[in-house]
Structure 1
Amino acid sequence: MFTGRLCRAAALSRARISSRPVALPFVRSAYRSIVTTRYTTDHESVVFDTETGVGTISITDYAQSSLGDVVFVELPNVGTTVNQGDQIGAIESVKAASDIYAPVSGIVEEINKELDDKPGLLNKVDDEKGWLCKVKLSNPSEVEGLLTADAYKAHCESEGSS
């Protein structure tokens, strides 16, 4: 008897040989990770992974374009306990300086050390390099209280019209 991927591969082979449709077996993963991105009205975002319990904090594209070229980034120390809404750092650009606020509560597990030498990475569209810090959430339900992508877009549009 085939199991897992072998079973699926065997069913696919039968489907190619047969002219009739073949029902493919459903293989359930041992882990189901959900990754959610949410936003704050202060223009921070958090990408939360339910499997790891870690949220990756960044500033939004709206914030990046408003700030202009980033010249300095101050981040919290690894191991720092933060509460939702706490100031956790600052960003200075050629146009302005702006505080960074924690979108969620937890313990800072990692900071983006590349920003020390290359603060301009925040101006890149690539989220893989332009993140600020990673926080192990102490209260994952806080993510649900943040803005969805549509709600954040509406917030930015209303901010731009005022």
Structure 2
Amino acid sequence: MAEKLTPWRLLCAGFGAGFSPKAPGTAGSLVGLALGALLLSLGHLALLFGIVLASALGVHAIKQLPGDTATRDPGWIVIDEIAGQMIPLLALYHVTPGGLALSFALFRLFDILKPGPVKWADARHDAWGIMLDDLIAGALAWAIVLALHLVSPL
């Protein structure tokens, strides 16, 4: 039986992106990229506020899900990808196609491969673990985007 669609479930699913039949994590990341680009166009403070808000709402929303959903990290939960995908955009001066593409590719790479601290956070099996692995993946992508941006504008 399908679970009831509550506001918390809808938020966790990235307003539907997580219900994508193929690659829901990528769909959620694309939502995060678009939202992050919009916020970056308003300024870095707006983007930072968006990341903090998505992260806090994400943890709270995941905790509102029924049963063991928050410990299983089902693929339809993509609020974590949305928050994490916005982080590397903080390294950009402004929105550019190259900067967006690099931020997206690096975030997805770290989210999928789960190196070191990303894997540690993913192993937590709680609301914070669900969010933290993607926030850390975003931070790793941010560090690389920042380093590359300092060498050559993106």
Q: Greater strand percent: which structure?
A: 1
Determine which structure has more spread, i.e. the larger CA radius of gyration. Answer: 1
Name the TM-score, length of structure 1 as normaliser.
0.27
Specify which structure has the higher proportion of helix: 2
The structure with higher relative contact order (CA 8 Å, sep 6+) is 2
TM-score by length of 2: 0.28
